[in-house]
């Protein structure tokens, strides 16, 4: 089964909340109002799909998915 790593490029993050709206179990906000990752690695197919969708929907391409 595939495993992914999820990270945020804080320089690109706008703090718009699209990732949180798409996958609140994966993303939250830090004290600066930027996105942070709650689940850094996963093999769960449902979470992988949500992480990839969040990455696709991010307006500044701040979410990095590494397989």
Q: What is the pLDDT along the chain (67 residues), one digit of tens a residue?
A: 689 999 999 999 999 999 999 999 999 999 999 999 999 999 999 999 999 999 999 999 999 999 9
pLDDT of residue 1: 65
Instruction: Please report, for the chain, the start and end positions of each structural domain, with discontinuous segments joined by +.
Output: 4-66
Write out the H or E segment, with its range, that includes residue 39.
none
Q: What is the pTM of this model?
A: 0.93
CATH second-level architecture of 4-66? 2-Layer Sandwich (3.30)
Q: Is the dihedral of CA 61, 33, 8, 21 positive or negative?
A: negative
Q: Which residue blocks in the chain are alpha helix, DSSP H?
A: 18-22, 45-57
Distance of CA 9 to the CA centre of its chain: 10
């Amino acid at each position: 089964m595939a495993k992914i790593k999820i990270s945020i490029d804080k320089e690109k993050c706008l703090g718009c909340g699209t990732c949180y709206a798409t996958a609140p179990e994966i993303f939250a906000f830090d004290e600066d109002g930027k996105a942070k990752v709650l689940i850094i690695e996963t093999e769960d197919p449902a979470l992988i799909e949500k992480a990839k969708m969040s990455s696709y929907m991010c307006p500044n391409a701040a979410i990095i998915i590494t397989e």
